[in-house]
């Protein structure tokens, strides 16, 4: 997401946590499978109601950063695991008028529409073609390489596979990589349940591969 400037005006943000802290949690914790926690939404002429069905969420474990067209929510599941909802909204809201109710059975967020009586077709904004292209690049970490680079890569993989297993090729990359390479490989592989393997930490550190996997 593009909201990385923490010098925000409080009139435009409703938050109990700095954006940098949310990103730090995302980069260092395991992400819970989105399918394990149900959520839905409804609307009236004036409001949007977003409900997360997670029992016994403590106030200190629900972190949020809400702008007029963007939300970043984290529920801390355990010391090692978090649940994330992050996306742009279908339309704009009035952040400072947001209300959050945490009960033993669920977390409910009430947003006030900026444009009254506008019917939202979806809660989250449908992503454009540029974002879809970025997802394609994530799912294929070698996308965009030159023919020469690609041929060299496939030759290396084939030679390694002939020697034993293609796993050896990726083990070699991991063992010979720097700390950022290893972090990228671990995060991309774990959080995507094995569907993504990337060596580019700059690309991986702010990506939600669980979201990409479910989109596919």
Q: What is the pLDDT of residue 8?
A: 45
**Is 0.75 topped by the overall pTM?**
no
| Protein fold of 13-113 | Immunoglobulin-like (2.60.40)
pLDDT level of residue 203 (50, 70, 90 thresholds): confident
pLDDT level of residue 59 (50, 70, 90 thresholds): very high
- What does the chain look like in DSSP terms, one character per residue? ---------TTT-EESS-HHHHHHHHHHSEEPPGGGSEEEEEE-SSEEEEEEE-TT--GGGEEEEEETTEEEEEEE-SSSEEEEEEEEBSS-B-GGG-EEEE-SS-EEEEEEBSSTTPPPS-SBPPP-HHHHHHHHHHHSTTTT--HHHHHHHHHHHHHHHHHS-HHHHHHHHHHHS-HHHHHHHHHHHHHTTTS-----HHHHTT--HHHHHHH-
Q: What is the pLDDT of residue 137?
A: 47
Residue-wise pLDDT for 176-201, tens only, equals 777 777 777 777 777 777 667 777 77
Residue-wise pLDDT for 161-182, tens only, equals 554 555 666 666 767 777 777 7
Q: Where are the domains of the chain?
A: 13-113, 147-205
Residue-wise pLDDT for 112-131, tens only, equals 999 999 999 999 887 655 55
Q: What is the pLDDT of residue 153?
A: 52
Compute the average pLDDT of residues 103-109.
Answer: 95
């Amino acid at each position: 997401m593009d909201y990385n400037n923490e010098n925000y005006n409080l009139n435009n943000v409703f938050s109990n946590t700095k954006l940098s802290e949310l990103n730090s949690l995302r980069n260092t914790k395991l992400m819970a499978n989105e399918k394990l926690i149900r959520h839905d939404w409804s609307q009236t002429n004036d409001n949007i109601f977003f409900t997360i069905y997670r029992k016994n969420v403590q106030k200190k474990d629900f972190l949020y950063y809400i702008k007029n067209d963007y939300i970043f929510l984290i529920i801390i599941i355990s010391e090692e695991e978090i649940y994330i909802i992050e996306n742009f909204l279908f339309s704009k809201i009035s952040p400072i008028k947001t209300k959050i109710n945490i009960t033993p059975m669920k977390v409910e967020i009430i947003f006030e529409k900026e444009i009254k009586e506008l019917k939202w077709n979806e809660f989250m904004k449908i992503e454009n073609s540029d974002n879809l292209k970025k997802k394609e690049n994530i799912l294929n970490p070698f996308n965009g390489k030159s023919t020469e680079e690609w041929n060299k890569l496939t030759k290396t993989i084939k030679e390694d596979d002939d020697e034993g297993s293609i796993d050896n090729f990726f083990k070699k990359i991991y063992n010979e990589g720097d700390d950022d390479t290893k972090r990228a490989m671990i995060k991309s592989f774990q959080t995507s349940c094995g569907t993504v393997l990337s060596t580019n930490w700059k690309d991986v550190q702010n990506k939600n591969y669980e979201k990409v996997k479910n989109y596919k």
